[in-house]
Amino acid sequence: MATICPVIDQHAEEAAFLWLSRDGAVRAPHYRLWELAKLDNRVDAHLDGLRIAGNPGWDIAKAQLEAGEGGETFVATVLAGESGDEERIQAVLELGSASEDRVRGLISGLGWVHSNEALQLARVAMNKKAPVFRRIVVAVAAIHRVNPGEELLQTLLDDPDLTVQARTAKAIGELGIVNLVSSLSAKLTVEDPACRFAAAWSIGLLNGAPGALTQLRRVVEEGSLFAPKALQLVLRRMPLADANRWLASL
């Protein structure tokens, strides 16, 4: 086994590095679908090397998880989720929730595995008290397009933690749950800008209500952190002539 450990190390390092490339690529406007698919295949090829390695593959992934960040968290999450092993799942939840970068890798890893495996891990996360785990659960449901139930979403939309509220508001739009538009509308006037934007974005996605689109236009005009995503949705909802005039005025 000593002779192949360097190979397993390389698989783990390359998978983590390529995830970082992919994480940027999925938000980059110049990447085409076939280029993303090619990058995905490269990631999965290195994950295959870790899968084939079995327990040594997991041991190396976990060791890198303990010292690493988002990419290493992604790799360990995929292996833990696919294994269904309770101890591995607990390890990635604890270590993967330690920073925002790791949380991003954790959620991405849960998006990579089959929905049944992801939801099994999400159920474990839901039993934990820290709000970051509720945010993870909502994100996993949205990524896999699994409606966790309107009652639960309403509860999370009123969660004491603002980051949970914002992620839930976004998930409602992603899941296409029009019955909760009125609940989203109540979030358009809250103080937290992330919650306001998420609510306006989901309403704009679901029914294009003028009030939400006006708020999204304001986000763009003010140059907010959320401006690029707001701009994409507003332009899809506006008549072409109006969109061209508005763009010319910016």
Please, what is the average pLDDT of the chain?
93
Other CB atoms closer than 10 Å to residue 128's CB: what's the count? Answer: 16
What token pair was written down for 155?
């509860």
pLDDT digits (tens, 9 = 90+) for 45-65: 999 999 999 999 999 999 999
pLDDT of residue 75: 97
Token output for 64: 């890198």
Question: What is the pTM for the complete model shown?
Answer: 0.89
User: For residue 107, what pLDDT band results from cuts at 50, 70 and 90?
Assistant: very high
- In this prediction, residues 63-83 reach a mean pLDDT of 94
Reply yes or no on whether the pLDDT at 41 is more than 80: yes
- Using the predicted structure, report yes or no on whether residue 4 has a pLDDT greater than 90: no
Say which amino acid occupies 226: F
| Residue 74 pLDDT exceeds 90 | yes
Rounded to a whole number of angstroms, the CA Rg of the chain reads 20
Q: How far apart are CA 75 and CA 92, in angstroms?
A: 10
Instruction: Choose between 32 and 5: higher pLDDT.
Output: 32
Identify whether the C-beta of residue 200 lies closer than 8 Å to the C-beta of residue 231: no
Cα–Cα distance measured from residue 140 to residue 117, given in angstroms and rounded to the nearest whole number = 11
Using a 10 angstrom Cβ sphere, with 0-12 exposed, 13-18 middle and 19 or more buried, the burial of residue 248 is: exposed
pLDDT at 2: 47
